[in-house]
Amino acid sequence: VQLVESGGGLVQSGGSLRLSCAPSGLNLDAYVIGWFRQAPGKEREGVSCTAYKDGDTFYLNSVKGRFHIAKDRTKNTIYLQMNDLKPEDTAIYYCAAEGYIGTAEHMCRRPLSAYWGQGTQVTVSS
């Protein structure tokens, strides 16, 4: 199993970035795919998670209306479109996949046995 993230970078406040996650070795319809982030000195938090098969989706309150999670079945890729970025969005962003046995929110709140990507840095300057 491998999850490869891409798309991080440096952007000014108010700007946009799109992160990509390309899982391999998984039957994606049986998984929830999520984006998590961890800023220096802070705990990891679930930003957005979506059940690949039925679209059950969760967003962290602080990103609602600014971030959008989407999937491209033809490419087996999950995207996180991040708009109106703020300095507090600065973090390492990780893609994760966990078997779909609860809800997307459940996975975002407390991933128990997820596969993780290597992370991609997002830096938002003020």
pLDDT at site 102? 85
Give the chain's length. Answer: 126
Residues 6+ apart with CB under 8 A from 13: 85, 86, 87, 124, 125, 126
Task: Render each residue's pLDDT in the chain as its tens digit; 126 residues.
Answer: 999 999 999 999 999 999 999 999 999 999 999 999 999 999 999 999 999 999 899 999 999 999 999 999 999 999 999 999 999 999 999 999 999 988 999 999 999 999 999 999 999 999
Q: What is the DSSP letter of 30?
A: G
pLDDT at site 76? 94
CA atoms within 13 A on the CB side of 73: 7
